Chain A
Amino acid sequence: MNNPEPLPAELLTQQRPRWRLAATVRRGMLSLAVLLQTLTATYFILSILPYHGGNLIEVCIAAVFALLFAWISVGFWIGLTGFFLRRIGGDPLSLLRQQDEATLEATPLARTAVVMPIYHEPVGRSLQGLKSVILSLQRSGKLENFDFFILSDSRDPDVWLAEQAAWDQLRNELGMQDRIFYRRRPINLNYKSGNVADFLRRWGSAYEYMVVLDADSLMGGDNLVRMVQLMQRHPQVGILQSSPSLINGRSLFARLQQFSNQLYGPLFTTGLAAIQLGHAAFWGHNAILRIQPFMQHCGLRKLPGWGLFKGPVLSHDFAEAAYMGRAGQEVWLEPELNQSYEESPPTLSDELTRDRRWAKGNLQHIWLMLFSRRLRLAHRMAFMNGIMGYVASPLWFSFLVLTTIEVARLVLWPINYFPEQNQLFPLWPEWHPQRAIWMVSITLTLLFLPKFLAVTDVLLRGRRQQFGGGFKLFFSVFLEIVISALLAPIRMLSHCRYVMEALFNVNLRWAGQNRSGETSWLAAVLNQGIGSLLALAWAGFAWWLDPMFFLWSLPVALPLILAAPIFVLLSKVGWGEALLRNRWLQIPEEAQGSQLVDDLNKPSKLLEVDQHAAFNEAIVHPYTNQLQSQLAHAPRAKRQQSELQLLAQRCLQEGPDALSRAERNLLASDATALRWLHSQVWLAAPESIWGRLLKRRIRIANTPNQTV
């Protein structure tokens, strides 16, 4: 590793401060558009309500409506901006367009660490992904500028031993013993940000830049090189975020997600990048960071508040972007950096599990948004955006509750025509159903017009074949819209629960989450049963009140009632693959192929590490035992040694399953114990536990198509 050298001044691209002015103008225009649109819509809804906001319930309905409308209006205008910019060939102010291609190509690289923090991830898949990235960099011819670090926080010995075995396999396969490194922290402090900070304290000063990958990230070599070159030319940029596309989905759910991400995503990210410019957010992965300012300004203190607002920052990325901005560094989102990928959660259940975590992390940002000093307004707004991503659900829920109360009040209570004393004229409730239909139409336009603009953009660019051809593209869009409409109420109810859990700092979990490939009926019913009953009761009440209100409630109630079947059917891999075979929900990488994705899906020995229990393998397999022993602790103090010897004896006599995870951790961390167990297992009588395990392992190795 060499010490980083700064790029000569003549190679630096002159920063054009005009983006700051443009950012102010664009954000002002966006705010104005959202404000005017929201005020108009709120005025309109007040005219629809029977008393036009003349009582508390109606005032609350209008207030909640205004917040929700403003939220979708922001999305609408961002989508529209993205469409316009893509039609004129891209944002002229984007970082990528501040120098020509040849200049960028000629820019020398600097030492860059590619880090992949992992915590109990599928080991084979994660490292196979890293291998694809390395192979892609090899093809770009610039591999020598990059080192790779697998940063593990895993606690389960079956996982971290597998990680170590796979890491060894990977560097041997690629012949990169001195370029691919593995580090496992003994103590997990501060989650992922603590893991990255641990890396930076140890090796950060040896590198100019750090690329952060998630366990499911994929980035093309040319793209990585381009990102380093952009950072080299723009020394004021602290973080450059690429816009990862979803790929590799197999289940129906994952394929829907990746289709919508690839079709609509570019419009929204182009619009978002144009509004944020140099004050963008960091999404935690598929991004490059300038190490020196990051270490100088992005240490995350624990929050000093109470409940949710006390302790380590859970969702670190937005906070780090805000701190970089505070330190005068620019943070850019560059949507035109292609070959940046991640994967969708395979099922709705997995997505909601992730959302539970994210909801807590994003709501924690309320503290940072309100109390952090000297943050840029744009970054406070980014916090607000993330918070609204989850708070919108309880707002929508409140809206439904308030409208139900309003209808119930009108139906069940006698109408008071003279609510005020000494009132001369009666107050008539007014009904304007046609206006309500107009209001719904306008809201739907806001939600769906950007989607149709995204389709138009694809057609105008002549990319329809990449999405399966014209007819299949439209069918796929129709399918995506129908299913996303079904998913919206389900997500809303789950997010309500997560927001409540987060705000009250409690866990209201009522059933275990499914983590297997597909969602089982039992798991789906347990997970969604209460929501379905709630929706059924609400729909029944609506019917009892007024059949018209019942019809009004159906778009929300029906998906919730059918939540369990929706969970199960969307998780089906067979359905997803059947659609793929027929080119429905097709994405460009499937149409034209991608070396990066092909490398990921190639059969590989790395994928085999997940097939055997890694603890047993570390004891039985001679090469693995040698590897794991060399990575483990050197012999310990005598007292500890004697305790470990007792534990090892027990492991030998009673088998690995008789030990707790902590006990197996102790043994797996100790070189002497591992070597002793290895020698004893090979002497084990055939009828003993280890004798049988050894026999089974040999049989598997001798089975055709199995490797040792």
Chain B
Amino acid sequence: MPQPISELLLQRILAYWAWSGVVIDAATEEKALAITARALHQPEQQRLSFSLQALLEELPGQTPIAAASPPLSRSSMHYGDY
């Protein structure tokens, strides 16, 4: 049996938030339900994009990660005889 669209939307919203570090509590679940409800009022083709857009708006902006390597401190390797 195909998954109902409301379940799919709710599942994706909660998963996205959880993976983005949002704590899933009752208040978050309510927000997710509200987005799902609003998305269901959208045309069928736009429900997923609407919910993605809405869930992203609830997330804080991207935080840049710390540098993967320290500032360069260049010097040379020397190649002598065999």
Contact = CB atoms under 8 A, between A and B. Distances in A.
Interface in A197-213: 197, 200-206
Interface in B25-69: 48-49, 52, 62, 64-69
Contact of A299 (B16, B19, B79): B79
B65 A183 contact: no
Interface string A532-558: 000000000000000000000000000
Interface stretch (A73-81, A515-523, A626-634): A626-634
B30 to A, nearest CB: 19
Interface string A356-370: 000000000001100
Contact of A205 (B18, B65, B73, B80): B73
A178 B76 CA distance: 24
Contacts of A442: none
A297 B70 contact: no
Contacts of B78: 295-297, 299
Nearest to A313: B82
A698 B62 CA distance: 22
B19 A682 contact: no
B66 A203 contact: no
A621 interface: yes
A205 B74 contact: yes
A168 interface: yes
A679 to B, nearest CB: 7
Contacts of B62: 626
A686 interface: yes
B70 A1 contact: yes
Given A197-B77, A299-B79, A182 B68 contact: yes
B75 A200 contact: yes
B71 to A, nearest CB: 8
A69 interface: no
Contacts of A698: 11-12, 15
A164 B66 CA distance: 13
Interface in A284-328: 295-301, 303-304, 323, 326
Nearest to A679: B52
B6 interface: no
B72 A202 contact: yes
B73 A206 contact: yes
Contact of A201 (B3, B20, B76, B81): B76
Contacts of B21: 623
Contacts of B72: 202-203
Nearest to A683: B48
Nearest to B82: A372
A299 B77 contact: yes
Contact of A181 (B3, B16, B70): B70
A631 B66 contact: no
A203 B72 CA distance: 6
A177 B49 CA distance: 35
Contacts of B70: 1, 147, 178, 181, 203, 206
Contacts of A687: 2
Nearest to A147: B70
A673 B71 CA distance: 27
B23 interface: no
Interface string A146-167: 0101000000000000001001
B18 A683 contact: no
Contact of A301 (B19, B73, B82): B82
A684 to B, nearest CB: 8
B59 to A, nearest CB: 8
Contacts of A177: 66
Nearest to A198: B77
B3 A686 contact: yes
Contacts of B3: 686, 695
B82 A630 contact: no
A605 interface: no
Contacts of A203: 69-70, 72-73
Nearest to A631: B68
Contacts of B64: 630
A631 B76 contact: no
A200 B69 contact: no
A606 B26 CA distance: 30
Contact of B12 (A164, A183, A300, A694): A694
A145 to B, nearest CB: 15
Contacts of B74: 201-202, 205
A701 B11 CA distance: 11
Contact of B19 (A206, A297, A623): A623
Interface of A: 1, 147, 149, 164, 167-168, 171, 177-178, 181-183, 197, 200-206, 295-301, 303-304, 323, 326, 367-368, 371-374, 621-623, 626-627, 630-631, 679, 682-683, 685-687, 694-695, 698, 701, 708
30 contacts: A1-B71, A147-B70, A149-B69, A167-B68, A177-B66, A178-B67, A181-B69, A181-B70, A182-B68, A182-B69, A197-B77, A202-B74, A203-B73, A204-B75, A205-B73, A206-B70, A295-B77, A300-B79, A301-B79, A301-B80, A368-B82, A372-B81, A373-B81, A621-B19, A622-B20, A623-B20, A630-B65, A679-B52, A686-B3, A708-B18
Given A201-B74, A303-B82, A631-B68, 4 more contacts: A204-B73, A295-B78, A683-B52, A686-B3
List the 5 closest pairs (A to B, CB-CB), nearest first: A299-B79, A177-B66, A205-B75, A299-B77, A206-B73
Interface of B: 2-3, 8, 11-12, 15-16, 18-21, 48-49, 52, 62, 64-82
